[in-house]
Structure 1
Amino acid sequence: MPSIYLRTALWQYKFRKLSYLFAGLIAYCRFCVWVIFQRILQPNRPVVGVLLAQHLGDIVASEPIIPALNAKYPNAKVVWIIQKHFRPLLEQHPGLYRLITEENMLFSYFLCQWNPCNHFFNLHLNELRKDPFFHIPLVNEKAYELNINIHNYYNQHNLLENFSQLAGLGLISGHPQIYLPKKKFIPPFEGNYWLIHRISNDPCREWSYENWMKLVKMAIEEWDVNIVEMGTSQGLEFDHPKFLSLVGKTTVEESLFLVQSADYFIGIDSGPTHCANAFQIPALIMLGEFADFKKYMSYSGAYQQGKLANLIYCEHGPAKDLSFEEVWQKIQNSIETHHLITEIPNHK
């Protein structure tokens, strides 16, 4: 019987683990050298590092931190560490000096141990990130100091307020902004459509498939609207000339343009909903109990103020327990409030 150490799969795993380690170390050393040179060449311009590599909603919600950091540290070079997939969220931001791609989680772990930035802020909460090979957690000492953790972060504050405290800014308010490149985008249905997003990275935030199907059918029958579904997986299986599924068919940048061009947004608490808030799209958002929180507010700006979004809460359970009738009534009220149907030229 051959030794386990000779098995191909084991050696392949060891090679991937070693490659992962070296990739993180090389990226870390490269970043440190770059920062040191920046400080030598322009000592009057402090380098401010921000680490928030994921996820979509968190990054969008935290955007007001950027102008706040520039105001606190005049003439600073604000540098943001982000996963490659999410770069389109901040690539065009005028307040950032540079975006740094997070090579892997070890890279971020090393940065939190030591880095040459004048100021460095890790915005990740504890107990959320652990590298896949060495199982080293990403620790945020500032979060421990402020007693902000995954069990209480929504008790009193929204996402921006939590992130701003971790960035040494105290409690700030503001409306998030997304800056897109100036390029031609051809929207579906010539730009006259409602946009829906159904799937979250946490299933307890979702509404039932059957209710979504019923909503789409009745909205088309009642108002003759065009409806586009966005997301990464598990699209509705619905065939109708006024329904278009773009699930799994768009990049992050294309998804942002898709949200920006929508007339109305219907969704759950998810990353695309934070994008709709940033673009100030009239919306209906379904919410309910989540993790340790009976009721919470994740948004800042327009959706928090209730100007554009109708937030419907399930008072005694997760969002999936919202009845169809409750949601349908709220949509009807929202349409009347925002005069949405008059903006759709093909409405009968």
Structure 2
Amino acid sequence: MTEGPRFREVWIYRFHKITHIIGKFWSFAVKYLQLRLLKNRLGNRQLVAIILSEQMGDIIACEPVSREVRQRHPDAYILWVVKEAFADLVRYNPNLDGFLTEKCPGERVQLLRSGIYDKVYNLHISHRKCKYCPEDPVNPTADQIGLTFDNYYYRGDLLYMFSQAAGLPPMTDEPRMYIPETIKESVLARQLPAQPIVIHCQSSHVARDWPAANWNKLVDWLLATYPYPIIEVGLTPTIRTTNPRFINLCGQLNLLETAEVIRQAQLFIGIDSGPAHMANATGAKGILLLGKLYDFVDYLPYSGRYKRGEGVTILNNFGHPCAELPYDWVQQAVQQQVGQPKRV
């Protein structure tokens, strides 16, 4: 009885694999031609690539790399290689001349092998492969300093670690978000209430999350004891309240709109995720909930203000996952950040 479904699964996988690989080579050929034409127009200007294509938080945290590379190559044409889903994070960066969307790590390998770039700053750690492609992405610079997925968080925050993977000095600068006026106007048009507390409850990795029951308990307490509206951002809602001062924006905002909502918050409360990096990069005050992640116990992904402990309370019950972070700790952190409760 299981042979039929198993047979279909195998052939569906093979179909997706074959079509993906064909698409990869076609995408590589098109991009190589585009880059070759670009180089012809550039003349003597160098074509420089910054490569960090995925993970929202990683890209936001590593924004200072664009400033460092621009300082090193003031006359070069600088591209950031990024997945389409995260293109808006680099689209408006004034230190870049453009960006190149990456289909998959296999395509990245093909472009690097082609020698089309004059200079490459590859921030990726070796061996994060595409699930379909045979190419194994390798970063010799990261390998030379012994940087792997098993130890990267022991080396410091994301910017500090990834900058070294790219062959740059260890960096600890403030990350920035570049939010255009059109995005600010689109958020303004929503007529959201002023001084909200913005929360983000779910990450792309369940090991980073705090229980939904705790989030709902926290929001109920916030609404009962403070006059501030609560806005939830992210992809999937966690909060169930019908209180009119709670606003669910999950799945309704693009990346930069989310960053703008967080920028306007009087306080951001969230788990270790992309929106937490947005809070750091936009100057928002924050309460961040961390916990043991794989074998990493004492780690801090953030550079700049949050690394210095400015405007942020970072909660970590060391040795325990975020799910076991005591509820009372979060409540006390809110009282320290916002002040003692005032009945509404």
Number of paired residues? 335
Match of 2:72 in 1: 72
Match of 1:157 in 2: 156
- 1:265 is paired with a residue whose SS is strand
- Give the letter for the 2:34 counterpart: W
**What is the deviation of 1:33?**
2.8
Match of 1:90 in 2: 90
Match of 1:192 in 2: 195
Alignment of 1:24-173 (within 5 A): 24-127=24-127, 129-134=128-133, 136-173=135-172
Rounded Cα–Cα distance in structure 1 between residues aligned with 2:87 and 2:107: 17
Tell whether 2:272 aligns with 1:269.
Answer: yes
Q: 2:254 is matched with which residue: 239, 251, 255?
A: 251
**What is the deviation of 1:281?**
0.3
Rounded Cα–Cα distance in structure 2 between residues aligned with 1:269 and 1:283: 11
Q: Cα gap change, 1:13/1:306 in structure 2, threshold over 3 Å: closer, same or farther?
A: closer
**What is the deviation of 1:15?**
5.0
Query: What per-residue deviation string (whole Å, max 9, x for no partner) do you get for residues 177-227 of structure 1?
Result: 111121212255333311101111221211121211111011111112210
Please report the TM-score for the alignment, with normalisation by the length of structure 2.
0.90
**What is the deviation of 1:254?**
2.4
**What is the deviation of 1:274?**
0.1
Q: 1:290 is matched with which residue: 290, 293, 300?
A: 293
State the percentage of identical aligned residues.
27
> Does the aligned pair in 2 maintain the 1:189–1:226 contact within 8 Å?
no
- 1:191 is paired with a residue whose SS is coil
Q: Cα gap change, 1:169/1:105 in structure 2, threshold over 3 Å: closer, same or farther?
A: closer
Rounded Cα–Cα distance in structure 2 between residues aligned with 1:260 and 1:85: 21
Alignment of 1:189-338 (within 5 A): 189-336=192-339
Tell whether 2:184 aligns with 1:181.
Answer: no
State the superposition RMSD in angstroms: 2.4
Rounded Cα–Cα distance in structure 2 between residues aligned with 1:51 and 1:319: 30
> Does the aligned pair in 1 maintain the 2:155–2:161 contact within 8 Å?
no
Rounded Cα–Cα distance in structure 2 between residues aligned with 1:39 and 1:209: 51
Give 4+ residue runs of structure 1 displaced > 6 Å after superposition. Answer: 7-12
**What is the deviation of 1:311?**
0.9
Unmatched 5+ stretches in structure 2:
none
**What is the deviation of 1:126?**
2.8
Greater mean deviation of Cα atoms: 198-207 or 36-45: 36-45
Unmatched 5+ stretches in structure 1:
none
**What is the deviation of 1:116?**
1.4
> Does the aligned pair in 1 maintain the 2:49–2:121 contact within 8 Å?
yes
- 2:74 is paired with a residue whose SS is coil
- 2:171 is paired with a residue whose SS is coil
Rounded Cα–Cα distance in structure 2 between residues aligned with 1:220 and 1:190: 14
> Does the aligned pair in 2 maintain the 1:20–1:104 contact within 8 Å?
no
**What is the deviation of 1:88?**
1.2
**What is the deviation of 1:36?**
3.1
Rounded Cα–Cα distance in structure 1 between residues aligned with 2:205 and 2:11: 34
Please report the TM-score for the alignment, with normalisation by the length of structure 1.
0.89
> Does the aligned pair in 2 maintain the 1:177–1:278 contact within 8 Å?
yes
> Does the aligned pair in 2 maintain the 1:57–1:271 contact within 8 Å?
yes
**What is the deviation of 1:144?**
1.1
Rounded Cα–Cα distance in structure 2 between residues aligned with 1:111 and 1:163: 21
